[in-house]
Amino acid sequence: MPITVVKGVPDATDVIRRGDSNSERTGESGLINSKDLMRKYVILILILISILKLYGQEVKTLVEGKVSYITTQNIYVKFKLSGVVQAGDTIFIRKEEKLIPLLVAESVSSTSCVGKPLVLFELKIEDAVFARSKISEKKSTPIAESSVVAASSKQQDSSQPAGNKVRSKPERVSKVRGRLSESSYSSFSNATAFNQRYRLTFSLATDNIAGSKFSTDTYVMFTYKPNHWNEVKDNVFSSLKIYSLSVKYDLNPKTHFLLGRNINPRLASVGAIDGLQAETSAGNFTFGAVGGSNPDYTDYSFNPNLFEYGTYLSYDIKNNNGPMSNSFAFLQQTNHGKTDRRFAYFQHENSLMKNLNLFASAELDLFALENGVPVNKVSLTSLFLSLQYRFSRKLSLFASYDARKNIIYYETFKTYLDQLLVDVTRQGYQFRVNYIPAKFINTGISGGYRFQKNDPHPMLNANGYLNFPQVPLINASVSLSTNWMNTSYVDGLIYGIRVYRDLIPAKLSTGIFYRLADNHYLTASSSMIQHMAEFELSWQISRKISFSANYDGTYDQMSKYHSVYLNLIKRF
């Protein structure tokens, strides 16, 4: 079920990535000398080995969960392990090469949490999400697995003669989690031809293979159109996207190495890294270093010409008010051996006082070209600040400020530098108030203001919702919503109602969503009324197999648009 939510933090669509011209990669920069590249790798590895002799506490790792329920204003997430998420933690979703903040946990239980969405994209039940957890393997081991390990230890102890019992080392628990899904998306209308595409998705994570220190992570997607198969034959990476393919080695409980393609949660804004990553901890400090290359921007394939390297340091403590985390990272990115971008990243999370949480992040560019001459120049590229305060269990408030400039890759954007450099900072404010007046009612309002100096008119938006989680007579949840948006080209209102209920508890559920959009286009001095209907059906065929179907239709005076989405998931 697609969900449309208000932007709160920058996502992949808001950041200008690597250029529009492939010719710049093979033009004036020249090929990087292979000996120099090898020398950089060797030096980096030697530095890592010398540093990783440190010892300390557990390292934060990514723990996967699933979207379990969606309303117009809330997203519910469930994890297999208990104690993974604390109130105020950020939950991420993987979109292409990035980990994007999805929500901030407002209310948590032993294995689940709920929060308001922060970004704008389609989201469906059973979509994978990720949390950064510092729970050790022993604490996060499910009860059943812990019992097996304990029983095994007891049997070993009982087999030893009295007085000669040997203390055995804790066993590493081997776990395998995977998912294979096949989906079909069809769209058609009275104005366009029938269009269909298929998508196969495979994910597999193995922890401590056969009780060893090795673990793997794989996330691969293959998307194609039946009538465009020649494009796949010409370049398989036009359809095949490898978002994660890595192997990790745990040197000890505090230190690990990772080789392959992977997104580092402490460098999530950088995206995937092809190469070597290492991390260790000592006390409250965690230190890491990366070296490799950036995936090619044209088809996301491996591109050794985009060599990059960097380090990061974090400091995590827990006080009476809650946890505090500080992270600082430095990264150098190159294109054919020349500096493409050099920047520093800072992130801070802190419970300033009881029920008050602060989050801040900033990127500082440290390199520029002035009249073709490289210079060291500090420039604030992005700044994001947010405050969340819970007055009580019924009332909470969220506010944020966001400022971003165009990210410039000087070697990649040669042709577009003049245009990019004159663009000014985009700024925006967001606020949200949530209130639960009674057990079966919750409501909230949110709003945003975004502007840029060269915009003829700033963007304003406001949203309101009223949700009834359980309506007695129909045994369904009902949500009412309204959205107002005013920009330089449109002034519109959208009204919506959504009904969702279980036909067979934990087996079969359905939902109906209707929206009425009244848009007035300022540039054309015209108006348009649109009716949008959505129907979804979710079927839990077995414990590990599920199926969902979704229909979405948009109707106006001139056109009728239809789309059908089918998805079959097998978990193992």
Q: How many CA atoms lie within 13 A of 46 on its CB side?
A: 6
Could you tell me the sign of the dihedral formed by the alpha carbons of 117, 119, 122, 126, in that order? negative
What tens-digit pLDDT sequence spans the chain (572 residues)? Answer: 444 333 333 333 333 333 333 333 333 333 344 455 555 554 554 554 444 444 333 345 677 788 876 655 568 787 777 667 776 677 888 765 566 778 777 666 667 777 777 655 567 666 778 887 654 433 443 333 333 333 334 344 444 444 444 444 556 788 898 999 999 999 999 888 899 999 999 999 999 998 899 999 999 999 999 888 898 999 999 999 999 999 999 999 999 999 999 988 778 778 889 999 999 999 999 999 999 999 998 899 999 999 999 999 999 888 777 788 899 999 999 999 999 999 999 988 888 888 898 989 899 999 988 877 888 889 999 899 999 898 988 898 999 999 988 777 777 766 665 655 555 678 899 998 988 888 788 898 989 998 887 777 888 999 999 989 888 888 888 999 999 999 888 889 999 999 989 899 888 999 999 999 998 887 777 888 999 999 999 999 998 899 999 999 999 888 899 999 999 999 88
| 92, 77 contact by CB (below 8 A) | no
pTM of the model: 0.68
What is the H or E stretch that residue 112 is in?
A: strand 112-115
Burial class (CB in 10 A: 0-12, 13-18, 19+), 103: buried
Residue 200 has which token pair?
């196969």
Distances (CA, A) of 378 to 110, 222, 363, 365, 368: 44, 40, 10, 6, 9
Burial class (CB in 10 A: 0-12, 13-18, 19+), 200: middle
Q: What is the pLDDT of residue 522?
A: 78
Which residues contact residue 470 at a Cβ distance below 8 angstroms, ignoring those fewer than 6 apart?
440, 476, 477
Q: Residue 444: name the closest of 495, 480, 472, 475 by CA.
A: 480
Which residues contact residue 107 at a Cβ distance below 8 angstroms, ignoring those fewer than 6 apart?
87, 113, 114, 115
Burial class (CB in 10 A: 0-12, 13-18, 19+), 281: buried
Q: What is the pLDDT of residue 366?
A: 94
- Report how far residue 213's alpha carbon sits from residue 90's, in angstroms, rounded to the nearest whole number: 28
Residue appearing with tokens 């095949």 = 240
- Within 10 Å of residue 454's Cβ, how many Cβ atoms? 8
Q: Residue 266: name the closest of 341, 218, 206, 330 by CA.
A: 330
